[in-house]
Amino acid sequence: MEILYKPIFIRQFNKLEVNLQEEVFEKIELFKNAKNHKLLKVHKLKGKFEDCYSFSVNYSFRIVFSYDSKTRVQFLSIGDHDVYK
């Protein structure tokens, strides 16, 4: 699966603590295999994010993304529940 990163995602990622960044890298590797999507709790969002999906990095942090095609996604943002605002 090809993953594109929006500039805002990269800025938000760079502000995270190093140990959390490592955890994000691990979850992204898992995400690349669709069989792991249930484990990551991938789900479609509602409201103003109805075209987006999200998955959990840990209990507090999540990644919001959208599908460009079946094999390509764009990571839009990373953070706690405030990423939905």
Quick one: pLDDT band at residue 17, thresholds 50, 70, 90?
very high
pTM given for the model? 0.93
> Quick one: average pLDDT of 7-14?
97
Query: Residue 18: enclosing H or E segment and its boundaries?
Result: helix 18-31
- Superfamily of domain 2-84 in CATH is RelE-like (3.30.2310.20)
Q: Report residue 79 as tokens.
A: 């953070």
Close Cβ partners of 84 (under 8 Å, ≥ 6 residues apart): 45, 49, 64
Q: What is the pLDDT of residue 84?
A: 72
pLDDT tens for residues 21-78?
999 999 999 999 999 999 999 999 999 999 999 999 999 999 999 999 989 999 999 9
